[in-house]
Amino acid sequence: MQLQLKIWHKMIIGIAIPSLIVLVGSIFTYEYLNDVKDRQEFVEIADDIKEDVLEIRRNEKNFFLYRNAEHRDNVYNAIFILKNTISSISQEIIEDIGQEDFSVLNESVQTYTDYIDELYESYREETKVTERVREEGRKLEDSVAKGRRAGGLTTSFVLNLRRLEKNYMFFRDKRSFLELHTALSELGDTAPGCTECISYKKAIGDLISAYSKSASVEKKLQVTGNRLEKIALKIARRERQKIKSFITVTNRFLLAAVALLCLLGPFFVYRTAKYIVTPINRLSEITKRIAAGDLNVRAPLKERDETYSLALSFNTMLDHLRERENQLIEKEKELYQSKKLASIGILTSGVAHELTNPLNNISMIAQTYTELYDKLSREDRLAFMNNVEKEAERIRDIVRDLLDFSKPKEKSFREADINTVVEKSLKLVQNMLDISNIETSVTLGSGIGRVFIDEHQIQQVLVNLITNAIQAMPGGGRLYIETGLSSDGEFVEIAIRDTGKGIPPEFLPHIFDPFFSTKGVEGTGLGMSVSYGIIKTHKGNIKVQSKVGEGSTFTVELPVYRGDAA
């Protein structure tokens, strides 16, 4: 079964789906932006870590340079700040940074701190050894100055040695080391038995090992420092990267939502509009057909929406309308019948009047005939009888018309060709036409279709019309008979035109009334009235155009037969 939705359901769906797209898009975007906000915090922390580590490294350099407690404490302070930052990191962020990296960070900080301690110790050792070297150096200097020369030891040699010692302390590089070393071995060679020389050399040896110890700790410290720096930079970079990709995803999401809306939005709106308009259009189509007079149409009961009940009431209305129409037709018939009855009332008095004259005439002729019988010649007697015959004829005419008017004859409708009917009717009046000095011109249209008629009745109408035309041209004239199609193609038209006296405008509304006649004893006034009734039962029309002194045209319209009994 097809889904049956009400119009407002369809409207809600049509509006809701695009709105839903917008809503879902907005919610996702909102969520994402919220995440970005949280991320921003991570980035800040990551930046803090980086800054803290760099600060440590800076202090580390100074410590390397000054090698004293003050600068060690500076490094400690910087480490303390970093530790504080690390301890302020929430579990959530730790997870985000990655447990592994976080452990490496922590570990590195600890190792670094240990190395700083170790290095400080080493520096202190250095200081002590340096003191000793200086002391031993002075002793050696003194002994040489006091002339206690051992071997070929000269003051200048010792002074040079002391210079190389200072150089080494200052530069701590390979070159100064080698120079010192060479000078020392020379010292050993030159003064093998010099005790001050041995102590001095020993002190220098201790200095070298203290220096190398510091150097190795410094190296380890730098390595750890580098690791610390690397990991801090990595964390900071990764957090930035994550934010970037978050924003990219949000961007894509928004774009997708907008694209979806652009694609589906118009589609849904169009579908909704169509859904709503289609049944309404269908109803409007039907209303048009009803307006054109077709009461047999019914609204289809397709959609089970609001138009369903509309279509239902529509159909009920149509049923009522048709019933009303039938009643009206019935009423019309009754009215026609009652009018006819009324006419019959008039008719009876009319008939009485109409018949009285010829009857009186006959009666008078009979009386006169009887009284004068002996005095009458044979011609006179024949003339009398002729008059009787005439009066009787008149009575017969009246009675015949009367019968035509009042007695509803059995109708026998058949398909027919109007031209044939016209020709047959003409034959019936040919004799009359011949003696009335009237020329006839007949134009029969070809291919005008067929009609569905009671042929006898239509002939009667045509004979009535032609008779009237003849009577309108007592001095002779022209009779035109034409057949053809109406301009809309719905009717077959038969026009009968005379060049007679015409009908005064004030009579025009009455010519179809029963007994309306301007012909005195010559007319019954029933011809037009009977004809009108016949044409109406054929669903046709009869129209008149007339001008006094010029003539009249009567046009009969009969519906073209289309193969159905309608």
Ligand X SMILES: Nc1ncnc2c1ncn2[C@@H]1O[C@H](COP(=O)(O)OP(=O)(O)O)[C@@H](O)[C@H]1O
Closest residue to Mg ion, judged by C-beta, is 527
Q: Is 525 in the site for ligand X (CB under 6 A)?
A: yes
Nearer CB in complex with Mg ion: 438/451: 438
- Residue 518 binding: pick among ligand X, Mg ion, none (C-beta 5-8 Å cut-off by kind): ligand X
Chain centre distance of CA 453: 55
Among positions 62-101, residues that touch ligand X (CB under 6 A) are none
Q: Which H or E element spans position 357?
A: helix 306-372
Size of the site for ligand X (CB under 6 A): 23
Identified binder of Mg ion from the candidate list 25, 514, 527, 533, rule CB under 5 A: 527
The DSSP letter of residue 560 is: B
Q: Which does 50 bind (CB under 5 to 8 A by kind): ligand X, Mg ion, none?
A: none
Site for ligand X (CB under 6 A): which residue of 518, 537, 541, 545? 518
Which partner, Mg ion, ligand X, none, binds residue 517 by CB below 5 to 8 Å per kind?
ligand X
- Tell me which residues in 459-478 interact with Mg ion (CB under 5 A): 468
| For ligand X, the closer CB: 204 or 469 | 469
How many residues belong to the chain?
A: 566
Q: Which two tokens stand for residue 376?
A: 């009458």
Give residue 15's identity as a one-letter amino acid code: I
CA distance 381 to 135: 202
Q: What are phi and psi of 295, to 5 degrees?
A: -90, 0
> Residue 50 and residue 114: Cα distance in Å, rounded?
20
- Residue 528 binds ligand X, judged by CB under 6 A: yes
| Contact between residue 250 and residue 33 where contact means Cβ atoms under 8 Å apart | yes
Report how far residue 233's alpha carbon sits from residue 226's, in angstroms, rounded to the nearest whole number: 10
Between CA 333 and CA 540 the distance in angstroms is 16
Write down the least CB distance from residue 477 to ligand X, Å. 10
Q: Tell me the Ramachandran region of residue 564: left when phi exceeds 0, alpha when psi lies from -120 to 50, beta otherwise.
A: beta
Q: Does 279 bind ligand X (CB under 6 A)?
A: no
Structural Rg of the chain based on CA atoms = 68
Hey, is 436 helix, strand or coil? coil
- Separation between Cα atoms, residue 29 and residue 35, nearest integer Å: 10
Can you tell me which of 28, 80, 177, 516 binds ligand X, judged by CB under 6 A? 516
Binding status of residue 457 toward Mg ion by CB under 5 A: no
Residue 524 as a binder of ligand X (CB under 6 A): the answer is yes
Residue 165 CB neighbour total at 10 angstroms? 24
Task: List, edge to edge, every strand of the sheet that includes 541-547.
Answer: 438-443, 477-485, 491-498, 551-559, 541-547
Nearer to Mg ion (CB atom), residue 102 or residue 554:
554
By beta-carbon proximity to ligand X, the closer residue of 93 and 534 is 534
Q: Which stretch binds ligand X (CB under 6 A): 156-164, 257-265, 484-492, 515-523?
A: 515-523
Residue 86's identity, in one-letter code, is I
Q: How far is the CB of 458 from Mg ion (least distance, A)?
A: 16
Of 122-130, 210-218, 314-322, 527-535: span binding Mg ion (CB under 5 A):
527-535
Q: Cβ of residue 518: shortest distance to ligand X, in angstroms? A: 3
Listed residue (355, 344, 347) closest to 395, CA to CA? 355
Q: Which one of 392, 523, 537, 545 is in contact with ligand X (CB under 6 A)?
A: 523
Site string for ligand X, 464-503 (x = CB under 6 A): x---xx--x-------------------------x-xxxx
Among residues 347, 494, 511, 556, the one that binds ligand X under rule CB under 6 A: 511
- Residue 358 binding ligand X, by CB under 6 A: no
Residues in the interface with Mg ion (CB under 5 A) total 2
CB of 534 to Mg ion, least distance (A): 14
116-139 burial, b at 16+ Cβ within 10 Å, e below that, comes to: bebbbebbebbeebbebbbebbeb
Tell me whether residue 179 or residue 498 sits nearer to ligand X (CB atom).
498
Q: Which does 500 bind (CB under 5 to 8 A by kind): ligand X, Mg ion, none?
A: ligand X
Structure tokens at 22: 């917008």
Q: Rounded to the nearest whole angstrom, what is the least distance from the CB of residue 320 to ligand X in the complex?
A: 40
Q: Does 56 bind ligand X (CB under 6 A)?
A: no
DSSP 226-291: HHHHHHHHHHHHHHHHHHHHHHHHHHHHHHHHHHHHHHHHHHHHHHHHHHHHHHHHHHHHHHHHHH
310, with CB counted inside 10 A (0-12, 13-18, 19+), is: middle
**Beta carbon of residue 398, minimum distance to ligand X (angstroms, whole number):** 10
Q: Is 534 a binder of ligand X (CB under 6 A)? A: no
Does 531 interact with Mg ion (rule: CB under 5 A)? no
Does residue 519 touch ligand X according to CB under 6 A? Answer: yes
Long-range contacts of 341-349 (CB under 8 A, 24+ apart): 343/405, 343/514, 343/515, 343/529, 344/406, 346/514, 346/515, 347/402, 347/405, 347/406, 347/514, 347/515
3-state SS assignment for residue 302? coil
- Rounded to 5°, angle at Cα 261 from 258 and 266: 140
- If one asks whether residue 517 binds ligand X (CB under 6 A), the answer comes out as yes
Here the tokens at position 237 are 């970079």
- Of positions 552, 557, 558, 559, contacts ligand X by CB under 6 A: 552
Rounded least distance, CB 527 to Mg ion, Å: 3
Q: Which does 498 bind (CB under 5 to 8 A by kind): ligand X, Mg ion, none?
A: ligand X
**Which of ligand X, Mg ion, none is residue 472 near (CB under 5 to 8 Å by kind)?**
ligand X
Residues that bind Mg ion (CB under 5 A): 468, 527
Residues that bind ligand X (CB under 6 A): 464, 468-469, 472, 498, 500-503, 507, 511, 516-519, 523-529, 552
